[in-house]
Amino acid sequence: MSVQPKKLAIVYHSPYGHTAKVARYIAEGAEKMGVSVHLMSIEHIDWDALDQAHGIIWGSPTYMGSVTGAFKVFMDSTSKRWINRSWQGKLAAGFTNSGGLSGDKLSVLQQINLFAMQHGMLWVGLPLLSTGQKETDLNRLASHLGLMTQSNNAPVEITPPQGDLDTALWFGEYVALMLNRLH
């Protein structure tokens, strides 16, 4: 009897491509740990994949200290799953990207965390100590509730910086490790 890999969905909104780039790095990290990843933008939601996933990572850019309007509309569209407790007990995690170093990213992670908690999900943070503040350092923004990255309002080809992308890879590995431990 073969063991089926755990399933992880990563749902994100990415109007300019930066958040999608971070999502791909998270997915790569999770896949390195043997987890099957279904990556999807909110414009192309696969509800069956979300329902069958053992864990879901949510990602939105930080706009005006909040998730994007489109991501909020997606959150609101999950109300039937909320009332039916469809995602209760699944692992959850979150990430966000903004142009500014702060950009009030913490409020977005708190908003995503609360959304996951209302669904009865189990939250996984980012227990990685910051290795410094250079663009090559891991967790340079010193976040622990979830992953924060910063894109300098520059083209997606050159940003977020490598340290943020390496942290995204680490985060994907960590969430996959927790998923495998839980199940």
Peptide bond into 127 cis (omega under 30): no
What pLDDT shows up at residue 153? 83
| Residue partners of 168: CB distance under 8 A and separation at least 6 | 22, 25, 26, 29, 95, 147, 149
Better-scored residue on pLDDT, 50 or 103: 50
Please tell me the distance from the alpha carbon of residue 56 to that of residue 38, in angstroms, as a whole number.
Answer: 9
pLDDT at 4 over 90: no
What pLDDT shows up at residue 3? 76
The stretch 116-137 carries a mean pLDDT of 97
What pLDDT shows up at residue 103? 87
% of the chain beyond a pLDDT of 90: 93
pLDDT at 2 over 80: no
What angle do the packed helices 18-32 and 162-182 form, to 10 degrees? 50
The amino acid at residue 88 is Q
* CB of 61 closer than 8 Å to CB of 156: no
pLDDT at 35 over 70: yes
pLDDT at 1 over 70: no
The structural domains of the chain, ordered by start, are: 7-182 (3.40.50.360)
The stretch 53-74 carries a mean pLDDT of 97
Q: Alpha carbon 112 to chain centroid distance?
A: 9
From the list 59, 80, 81, the residue with the least C-alpha distance to 71 is 59
From the list 60, 45, 33, 34, the residue with the least C-alpha distance to 9 is 45
What pLDDT shows up at residue 125? 98
pLDDT category, 183, cuts 50, 70, 90?
Answer: confident
Q: What is the DSSP string of 3-62?
A: PPPPEEEEEE--SSSHHHHHHHHHHHHHHHTT-EEEEEEGGG--HHHHHH-SEEEEEEE-
What pLDDT shows up at residue 143? 97
From the list 164, 183, 134, the residue with the least C-alpha distance to 29 is 164
Mean pLDDT (the chain) is 96
Half-sphere exposure of 96 (CA within 13 A, CB side): 32
Q: Out of 2-6, 20-24, 145-149, pick the least confident.
A: 2-6
For 94, list phi and psi in degrees, rounded to 5: -145, 160
